[in-house]
Structure 1
Amino acid sequence: MSVIWYECKVKYTKRYETGEQKVTTDTYLLDAVSYTEAEARISEEMTAYTSEDFRIMNIKLANFSEVHPFENSDCWFKSKVSLVALDEESGKEKKTNMYLLVQANDVKEAFENTTKAMENTMGDYSIPAITESPILDVFPYFSEEEEKLEKANVIDKDENLNEEVLEETETS
């Protein structure tokens, strides 16, 4: 089943570390099955994120085929990937474009991460454009079972890390 991504623009009063407050409109991405679910989910996410009042200014379908988060990255980049196929009738190459949302710190890293995301692609492709996206955060859908599994993985990683630290301490 393919994922439907929605871009949501939310206007709210943002508090900065300096104590300054400013009304801002930020863009978030989430997957949902309908506009109604997208509205409910962004409302839920924003309620957890800010105690201030907020307004959902816009919800629209996003044209991302895939979303690829990478650790230790701050920004989201929109990568245009052109898949190249040979048209058997005419014998000419035909390009089909798709868009990936890739997390990175700069354009060079976004190119590298896009290449990593496309590693398992069998056909030829090119990356004609990468632009920084206004998206601040991505909220993928997790079912209750997936959330439990995700939390278990985090707990398991923490326990493994604690065991490694304990072993290192004991050998020192």
Structure 2
Amino acid sequence: MSAWYQGKIRYQKVDEKDKTIKITEVYLVDAVSYTDAEARIYSTVASNTPDFHLFGLSRMKLQEVYFVEEGAETWFKVKVNFMSFDEKSQKEKRTPFNMLINAENPLEAYQLISERLGTVEDYQITDINITNILEVIPYDAVEEKLKQGNFKPLAEVLVN
């Protein structure tokens, strides 16, 4: 079962004034373990960032990540409380869910989340916060990777 991991990298860059500055970037990776998340961050970032250091890797509790195709590069973390009625205690119960969506601004993030949730249940959007996530890296299916290589099913190999 996969989970979302937030990885922070740091590297140095020389700006226009020949001054060395430290750059920090945050990536969100869908992975099955910390080791897998670290490896996926290294493989993604290594191609375009020289001499970087991964200095933070933590699990991020997200129930859903929405990718908007025409959306902006800014990611918003949205807290949604789903309301239900508890028959035993005769009280309203709120269950919090954290979601992530890319949008131009908080208003658009609110509208996009409302659009995706629809009228499934009673819910209340309580928080919309901008994140410093630069890129979200979803998990690639194993089948996709196997199609790229010269692999055969085990049954075919055992027959030969």
Q: TM-score, normalised to structure 2's length?
A: 0.82
* Match in the other structure for 2:34: 35
User: For structure 1, which segment, 78-87 or 41-50, has the greater mean C-alpha deviation from structure 2 after superposition?
Assistant: 41-50
Partner deviation per Cα, 1:42-67 (whole Å, 9 max, x = no partner):
000111232x1000011000011111
Counterpart of 1:48 in structure 2 is: 47
Q: What corresponds to 1:100 in structure 2? A: 99
Quick one: which amino acid aligns to residue 80 of structure 2?
V
The code of the aligned residue for 2:65 comes to V
1:123 aligned counterpart, secondary structure: coil
Aligned partners of 2:99, 2:14: CA distance in 1, in Å? 31
The corresponding residue for 1:12 is 11
Aligned to 2:83: 84
The alignment yields a C-alpha RMSD, in angstroms, of: 2.4
What is the distance in 1 between the residues matched to 2:30 and 2:101? Answer: 16
In structure 2, how many angstroms separate the alpha carbons of the residues matched to 1:88 and 1:16? 62
C-alpha separation in 1, matches of 2:8 and 2:90: 44
Residue 18 of structure 1, CA deviation: 9.6
Ranges in structure 1 where 5+ consecutive residues have no aligned partner = 150-172
1:129 maps to which residue? 127
> Where in structure 1 do 4 or more consecutive aligned residues deviate above 2 Å?
13-22, 143-149
Identity %: 38
Change (3 A) 1:125 1:135: same
Structure 2: give runs of 5+ residues left out of the alignment. 148-160
Question: Please, what TM-score do these two structures have when normalized by structure 1?
Answer: 0.76
Report which stretch shifted further, 80-89 or 15-24. Answer: 15-24
Deviation at 1:13, TM superposition (A): 2.8
Counterparts in 2 of 1:146 and 1:85: CA distance versus 1, 3 Å: farther
How far residue 91 of structure 1 moved from its aligned partner, in angstroms, is 1.5
Q: Which residue of 1 aligns with 2:25?
A: 26
2-structure distance, mates of 1:17, 1:138:
29
